[in-house]
Chains A and B, each alone.
Chain A
């Protein structure tokens, strides 16, 4: 994994990006209707570590989230999981698809 210290800044994370609160308990993964192993704790960890390639490479996972917030309703750390996923979509739209202005 290559760590890119500018990645988090480039995500333009706002006040609602609070992935650092995640304590990696796995509740979200256990409840998610999609049952995706990667969602969302590993994804957040990668983003926080500045793993740009690791995050951008998870395109399908990031766009698969239903933003249904079942995970959030049960997250013991109160992480804004859906809003964090949306923030990653904003970054992917810009970095992969050239849809920054869209």
Chain B
């Protein structure tokens, strides 16, 4: 099995699938984060959006991402777009929710301080609202990536078009248990690296800078 893992990585089969998956993940994650930030802003800024979309997002957010796949297939056909859609959509709602609550919880005091210095509008958003929400935005991104990652694997497993999930399915159909396990190991490693290295570090540096932990 180690041999399969090794040749798979060097021979390019696993490596190629890996890059493909990570590319999709990045794409979905970046779109979801940007979209989530933007929607979160709209919900925070406009009461009417809060009362309509804000309410809807809470409901949408409770839908597991993969549930969107049938709909995505109907809309886009079983292919790249459908998978990217599924990867993006679930994470978007989580990101929106976290951004909204981050923005809404910015202490009035900070806003008042900024306003007495003459800040308003976009400047206030850029220099106070967003920085003050950074801890929550990061935890939103952490959740968003986890959502994307899980949705991606499920999507690739069911859909076509390469990637680690698809390789897993290939391994199963060929009866190659060593390939299946090798891919699982790779999946675990990628997940651990992103979660523990990237986000934990980011989180810790913020916590330290803000003095939230010692």
Q: Indicate whether A and B interact.
A: no
Seen from chain B, the residues whose Cβ lies within 8 Å of a Cβ on chain A are none
